[in-house]
Every structure is written in structure tokens, then in C-alpha cells.
Chains A and B, each alone.
Chain A
Amino acid sequence: MEEQVGKLWHNFISRRASTGHPAAAVAFAELASPLATFYRAMGGDPARTLGCADRRRLGVRLSWLQRLAGTEQRFSVAWQDEKGLYLPERIELFPQPELNRTLYFWLAAMAAQLPLRFNWFSDNQRAAATLLERYPGFASSYARMVPPILELRASIPLKTASEKLHERAIVRALKTPLEQEGPTIPEGEVHPVPFWIYPALSSSDTTSDREESLSAQSVTDEKTESVSVRKQAERIDDKKKTDGLLVFLPESLFTWSERIKVDRSEDDHFDEDVPFIAQELEEITLGERRDGLASRLKLDLDLPSADADDYPIGRGIRLPEWHYKRNGYLDDYCLLQPLLSREAHPAGLPDHLRPLVRRIESQLDRFRLGRQRLRKQPFGDEVNLDAWLEHLADPGRESSQNFFNRVETQHRDLSTLILADLSLSTEAAIDNDNRVIDIIRDTLLLFAETLHTMGDPFAMYGFSSVRNKMIRYHILKNFNERYDDRIRGRIQAVKPGFYTRLGAAIRQSAKLLSQRSSEHRLLLIISDGKPNDIDRYEGRYGVEDTRKAIHEARSEGITPFCITIDAEASNYLPYLFGSRGYSVIHDTLKLPRVVPEIYLGLTH
């Protein structure tokens, strides 16, 4: 009952206090995809993804909620970091939906103008001035958007002189950006400016740096301490920075209180000893970025002992890796080890695939290389009597004197290398009977049968990795081997491996392909997710290295093509393979059937 009353009171008071226009609200989700395209068109980094700003603020709401509890408006602000641009979940500042919508596009355009690190007050003005000057469309809607915001700002109660000074500067900056340089105003101390982009939470640090520093901590104990201190300081800093940020979400007040509890339980651990703090902080920072899985798994995965592992072939191949921040290669950084499975025994085609193979084979008849009869040709080996009779009956049409049939021998000079992702994630179950790896196995088998039937030369490899020094490159079939039960046995022995260091695997595959003398060379990658590994090879680092590897392959005259079952692949695959260089299969179970079709589509 008490809760009920509280809820009612809250709804009432927040609605009273609200200055937004819920009826005209525009949600980020509706615009996500056009906004991303727009952001790229305005010059935004295509490697960045667009996301919702709201959820990122989870841990820091407590303090400003306490400070600003009551009737003021709450917004979430737009900000960007190296990985993405984060926009408010919904905008309902204006009574006209089209203005709310325009504000989203304005924010995306602003973000595209701003570098990663910038001065909040002056650079935002500069960006706004540029946009207003360059785009008449923005100029007119900006002129409509600013007055209501100024009106709202006028009602903000200001107490201290500096508050008033700051507010005046902001108002002037909004009216005419860049008219005044003025003193720099810290973004945390003024009411949020909905037209401006805010700096990232912790702009000084990025995933890979942090991870490097964290892996360094195991080297010396002294370092451990300094690292943990830095972390803690950073965290407090974060809170401070977001103190003044308001989230325009009155109805979610109750969820906040629930989340606050979680936060407090984290806080409790800070009384523990220093190494423990370091450990915990790692958890927290990674948790905030929601990509800590790899780091947490660090302890779980061990390589099999040498006896139980597959046969290594040779001493390993050294390959470079692209470091996008240094804008250069790390020479011989990766060690790729070709392996032959120990458990593979010659085996026939599994029974459950036989009907499917038969069906595909019958479909393939018309694609098979060989002789094809072309009718009604201008030249040929035999006369087409029908065409001749038609011509005699209607001699006026001289231009179409195609009286011949011709038998043509078609030839296709194409080598294909199939590279399958055998990372740990393929262990995941799809339904009661199938794991992803089972589907990949079936796909490889079926596709091999297809290529074998068609007579196209092909090779098949699988890969997984554990850091840069152990990239496992499983040989399933090389170009010279005959496709027979031995190969079928090897394909059936594939099992989930470790992580996905895609760049190195692509480099090696491209190397193998470029040794082929075929006119056309296709590198077909079957993948189930983003490139990642337990070291810094994740997020943007992995994507950039993979992209570089793909570019290298292209410049060798190889056509890379990716077939993936990752439903979110369209966020990053266009950046890697181009808009026509990949295909997303939403129903994993269909993969075996679809891959041969894609192949035929690519090559005919």
C-alpha cells in the first residue's frame, strides 16, 4: 500500500515537474540505423557504433540523484568515445516531433565534427558554428530549437555568482555560437546543454591500454599497487564528471533505487586489502564496458598437454599484426601453428547428410563445368532448323539470323579456400540436438561435397587462437589433397577451440591462396562472431587488424567473402568486408544448405 501511494505520488509529481512533451517523444531505437548512416556521411568514424547513452550511466546516478532530487528536468546527454557514439534514449524536449528528431541528427552531426578529446565549451561552439554555416537546413531548425530551450533555462534557479556567470555564457553560446571564447566552463557544473556533445566518461583510457597495464601488473608487485591506486582515482573522477548530468527519465526512478543497491554492494569491497581492490576494480571497469568476458575467461582456458594435442606441422609460421593506434605493423608478432587432428580417422559421409547431398547434386547439374548446348547462335557447329524455317517464313528480319546451335565447353578457373572459425563460442547450443560446431561441421562437409562434384579446386582450414603466440590453424584439406574419406574424417573431427584471432588466420590463408595460379581466388570465411582474443585483440583492435588483413588479401587479387551466423554482424562486417562482401545467415540450422547457394551466386 505504502509503495502504491509512493508510486502514485511520484508519477504525479514527476509529471508536474516534467517540462518535456512525451506525446512528441522520439526514441533512439526508431532512428538508430538512419542515424548511423547519417553519422558516417557527416564524416564520423565508420568503426564507431551508435548506442544508447542511458544505460552507460548506471553506476553514477546515485550522487546526482541525491543532489538534484526534486523538480528539475533530467536528461541523458550525448557523448562519444573511441568505440561509439552514445545518444539519449529518447528526446522529448520539443512539442514538435520533427524537432526532436532533428535534434538526434544534429547530435550525430556534432559528434562527427568533434575529435575524441575536446574542450566541451569552446569546441562544441565551434562545431555548432560550422554546422550552421555549412547547412542551411540545420540553420533553420536550430533557429526553431534554441528559443524553447532558452526559455527552459531561464527558469533554472541560480544561486551563486559563478553559476549565474556560467549560465549567461551558455545562453550566449547557444544564441550565437563562437561569438565569445570566454572562460572554459566545466560541463559538470552547468545544466545540461542538449545541443552539445559531452566528453567520454574516462577519456584518458581505452580498453587495450587498460588491459596492457593490467597484464603488466603481474610482472612486479610494486606496479600492482600503483595500478590499483590509479584505478580508484579514476573511478572517483568518473563520478565527479557526471555529477551534473541529468537523465530525462522520471518514470524510471524506481529502477534507480534498485540499481543503487547493486552499486553499494560493490562499494563494500573497497575496505579489503590492496591486491583485492585491484582485482575488484578490474571487474568493475570491465563490467562497465560490458566486454569483460574475455578477461574473466583468462583463467579458464588451458591448452591441452602436448601429448593430447593435435600433431603440429612444422615449427610455426610468423605473421605480422596491425596495430591501429601505432598505425603500423608489429612484425612477426603472431605465431601460427598448422595442426593435423590426432583423432581423425577416415569416415564416410554421415547418414543424415546423404539426402541433402543428393538434392544439392541434382541442382548442381546445370552448374557443373562441362559442355553446354547453346541454341540459336550466329555461329555454330550444326544448323538450327527451327530458326531457318522461321527466317524463311518471315524473311524481313535480317538482323536476327541466328541459325546455329553450338556446344560450348565452359571453364572456370577458380580456387576457393574455406576458413572456418572454430572458436570456443561454437560450443554454444542452438537446440537440443545441435551445437554451432555441429552445424559448421555439416556445412563444411556439404560444401566440400558440392565443390568436389563441381570439380572446382578447394582447400579447407579451421582456426582458433590463444593469444598471439598460439594461433591454431587446423588443416582439413589442402589444395593438393584428393577429397576422400580421409578428408571427410578430418572434417568430422573438428571441435571447438579457443578464441578468434581472425587477422592472422586470414593472412595465412591469403598466403596459401596467392600461391595458386588460378585466375580467380576466393577466400570464404565462415564465422560466428567478432574477432577477439584474450589479450588486447578485441573490440576495435581486432576489427582494425582484421580489416587490414582483408585489404592485404584484396591487394593480392583475392576476393574475401564472409558468411556469418552472428545476428549483430551488420554492425561491423560492412566495415570489414564492404557492403557486398558478406552474408548474414539468421537461421543457423540453414547454414549447410545456404553456403553452396551463396557460392553459386558468387561465381555465376
Chain B
Amino acid sequence: MTQSCYYLPQGNEIELFTHAAELRLPVLIKGPTGCGKTRFVEYMGEKLGRPVHTIACHDDLTAADLVGRHLIGAEGTYWQDGPLTRAVREGGICYLDEVVEARKDTTVVIHPLADYRRVLPLERTGELIEAHPDFMLVVSYNPGYQNLLKGMKPSTRQRFVSIQFDYPAEQQEMEIIVAESGVEASTARQLVSLGTEIRRLQDHDLEEKVSTRLLVYAAMLMSKGLPKRQACIHGIAESLTDDAETLQSLLQLIELHFPASEEQAA
């Protein structure tokens, strides 16, 4: 692999994604936060040689933000393409991150793009754009994080090829941490086992599991020379919870893996 973007496959997702791209099928990626969804899409974009247009969806994201709108300039109004329209015209991967966060009307523009028609109707200009052969729609969402009213409609889900992501297995997660941060394997091992312990607390004590991303952050802080315990406190514990008692337990866990005495010795 001569790619600049690092990604360690966990299963058959690369093969699956490649097939989907060849068959021009849209892809839905589900998985918890920080498990590598965005990284995977970027990696695949690079591998397939297609540009990636990432759109982070939020409460106020309307169809107009995706498709484009009329603006008023010196010589009257003119149409400006939105990021989705640009990707549809020029080809490339359009990645809608956390798609359930977007407003309902966005599904209207996604639906015709996500089935056999592969068209984007521009209501405002009356244009009907056929998708570029290289255009690919990828959406992601985090099933664990949902408002009651922000689920994904079954009719939307059923238009996608779905890939489930989860945090990598211990050995792989260790490899990832080493590759991303350059810390020693033994440190990475401690970090991963710390991660496993913290993940057991999901639902009961923590809202979310600790992500691979956070573990990598902590490892990166360590590789910059920050004492390991400090790196874990700021990179992991404080980011996960505000609750004083849960925090105390997390600190105790960190202390087990990276004792303060070691820190002083170093």
C-alpha cells in the first residue's frame, strides 16, 4: 500500500465498498463514534481515485444546503451548486456524515439518487441532473446516538448497501494506535486494555464507549512526551464524562495501567 491515508481493514469492508462503487450502489455505514467511519471513506476515496465531498449533517441542514440555491449578485440572481450537486455533476464520493441529524426534507433529494434512477432533480431551476458515472452516495450514522424522533426511516435505509462498523479487535486496535501515534507496542497494549475496560461501562455509567480515536489521541499526546497518566486523563477520562464519581473510577483505572510512581521515575 502506497496510500497516504492509513486504514486497517477489520473485515471485508474494502471489498464490499469496491463492489458497491463498481455497481454504483449507495452505501450506508453504521457504527459508534470514532470507530473509523470517516477514515474508511477517505481511504476508499483515495483507493478508488475519487474525490470525497464530506458534508457533516446537523439540525439545520436543509435540502437547499445540499443542492444549492439562488444568490443575488451584481448582475441579478445566479444559481450556486451545493456540495451534493457538485459531486453529482463531477463525480466522486458524496459522504453525508451523521445523516439522521439532517432535516427531513433532505431525504427527498437523497431518495432519487439512491435508487436505480441516480438523478438529482433541482426543483428551483427545473433541472434534472443525471449522476456522473463515478458519483457515489455514502451516508453514515451512529445507531447508539439517537433522539427518539431522529431515527432513520426504513424507506431510506432500504436504499443502501449497509456496512456495520465497530471498534476494532484488541490486536488490531493496538496496531492502529502504534501506526497512528508511534508509541511503543507495550504502551499501546495498556491503552487498548484500558479501552476494553472502559467500554464495559457503556450504558451503565457512560453514555458512550471510548472511541479508538480517543485512544489514538492519548497515544499521540504520549508520543509528544506528555506523561502517560496525564495523557490518559486529558485524552480519555475528561473527554468521556463530567460525573465526578465516574471520573474517579476512570482515574483509578488509568492509575492501574500507568501508575503515578512510574511517571515520577521517568
Chain A residues whose CB sits within 8 angstroms of the CB of B255 once the complex forms: 137
Chain B residues whose CB sits within 8 angstroms of the CB of A136 once the complex forms: 190, 256-259, 262
Contact (A46, B204) CB under 8 Å given A37-B246, A522-B148: yes
Contact A40 B148 (CB under 8 A): no
Chain A residue with the shortest CB-CB distance to B104: A411
Contact B249 A34 (CB under 8 A): yes
Contact B148 A602 (CB under 8 A): yes
Chain B residue with the shortest CB-CB distance to A131: B256
| Bound CA span A136–B189, Å | 12
| Bound CA span A41–B73, Å | 59
- Among the 9-residue stretches A287-295, A462-470, A575-583, the one with 4 or more Cβ atoms under 8 Å from chain B is A575-583
A134 at interface by CB-CB < 8 Å: yes
- Among A37, A575, A580, point to the contact of B249 (Cβ < 8 A): A37
B207 at interface by CB-CB < 8 Å: yes
One digit per residue, 1 when the CB lies within 8 angstroms of any chain A CB and 0 when it does not, for chain B 32-53 equals: 0000000000000000000000
Chain A residues whose CB sits within 8 angstroms of the CB of B205 once the complex forms: 37, 40, 574, 579
Contact (A137, B258) CB under 8 Å given A34-B252, A37-B246, A401-B71: yes
| Bound CA span A244–B159, Å | 68
- Among the 9-residue stretches B12-20, B21-29, B193-201, the one with 4 or more Cβ atoms under 8 Å from chain A is B193-201
B242 at interface by CB-CB < 8 Å: no
Contact B62 A414 (CB under 8 A): no
B153 at interface by CB-CB < 8 Å: yes
Distance to closest chain B CB from A4 (angstroms): 42
Within 8 A of A (CB), among B216-266: 245-246, 248-250, 252-253, 255-259, 261-262
Contact (A412, B197) CB under 8 Å given A136-B256, A379-B64: no
Contact A378 B203 (CB under 8 A): no
Chain B residue with the shortest CB-CB distance to A134: B193
B151 at interface by CB-CB < 8 Å: yes
B69 at interface by CB-CB < 8 Å: yes
Contact B71 A137 (CB under 8 A): no
Contact B256 A137 (CB under 8 A): yes
| Bound CA span A135–B189, Å | 11
A64 at interface by CB-CB < 8 Å: no
Chain A residues whose CB sits within 8 angstroms of the CB of B246 once the complex forms: 34, 37
A362 at interface by CB-CB < 8 Å: no
Q: Interface size on B (CB < 8 Å)?
A: 38
Distance to closest chain B CB from A579 (angstroms): 6
Point out which of A138, A378, A602, A603 has the most chain B C-beta atoms below 10 A from its C-beta.
A378
Point out which of B73, B124, B149, B198 has the most chain A C-beta atoms below 10 A from its C-beta.
B149
B72 at interface by CB-CB < 8 Å: yes
Contact A137 B257 (CB under 8 A): yes
Contact A398 B249 (CB under 8 A): no
A38 at interface by CB-CB < 8 Å: yes
A348 at interface by CB-CB < 8 Å: no
A140 at interface by CB-CB < 8 Å: yes
B183 at interface by CB-CB < 8 Å: no
| Bound CA span A575–B200, Å | 12
B55 at interface by CB-CB < 8 Å: no
One digit per residue, 1 when the CB lies within 8 angstroms of any chain B CB and 0 when it does not, for chain A 540-577 equals: 00000000000000000101000000000000001100
One digit per residue, 1 when the CB lies within 8 angstroms of any chain A CB and 0 when it does not, for chain B 87-116 equals: 000000000000000000000000000000
A43 at interface by CB-CB < 8 Å: yes
Chain B residues whose CB sits within 8 angstroms of the CB of A35 once the complex forms: 249
| Bound CA span A374–B168, Å | 44
Within 8 A of A (CB), among B125-143: none
A105 at interface by CB-CB < 8 Å: yes
- Among B72, B190, B249, point to the contact of A41 (Cβ < 8 A): B249
Point out which of B193, B203, B258 has the most chain A C-beta atoms below 10 A from its C-beta.
B203
- Among A109, A134, A578, point to the contact of B203 (Cβ < 8 A): A578
Chain B residues whose CB sits within 8 angstroms of the CB of A579 once the complex forms: 203-207
Contact A414 B200 (CB under 8 A): no
Distance to closest chain A CB from B193 (angstroms): 7
One digit per residue, 1 when the CB lies within 8 angstroms of any chain B CB and 0 when it does not, for chain A 154-173 equals: 00000000000000000000
Chain A residues whose CB sits within 8 angstroms of the CB of B72 once the complex forms: 391, 398, 401
A33 at interface by CB-CB < 8 Å: yes
Chain B residue with the shortest CB-CB distance to A392: B72
Distance to closest chain B CB from A89 (angstroms): 19
| Bound CA span A461–B207, Å | 30
Contact A41 B259 (CB under 8 A): no
Chain A residues whose CB sits within 8 angstroms of the CB of B262 once the complex forms: 136, 140
Contact (A105, B203) CB under 8 Å given A136-B258, A140-B261, A520-B149: no
| Bound CA span A543–B109, Å | 46
Contact A41 B203 (CB under 8 A): no
Interface set of B (CB-CB < 8 Å, partner A): 62, 64-65, 69, 71-73, 124, 147-149, 151, 153, 190, 193, 197-198, 200-201, 203-207, 245-246, 248-250, 252-253, 255-259, 261-262
Extra inter-chain contacts (9) besides given A136-B257, A379-B64, CB under 8 Å: A34-B248, A37-B204, A37-B248, A46-B204, A519-B151, A574-B205, A578-B203, A579-B205, A602-B148
The 6 closest A-B pairs by CB, nearest first: A137-B256, A37-B249, A137-B259, A135-B256, A34-B248, A578-B203
Q: Give 25 CB contacts A-B under 8 Å.
A: A34-B246, A34-B248, A34-B249, A34-B252, A37-B205, A40-B201, A41-B200, A43-B197, A43-B200, A46-B200, A105-B252, A135-B256, A135-B257, A136-B257, A136-B258, A136-B259, A137-B257, A138-B256, A141-B259, A378-B65, A401-B69, A414-B148, A519-B151, A574-B205, A579-B206
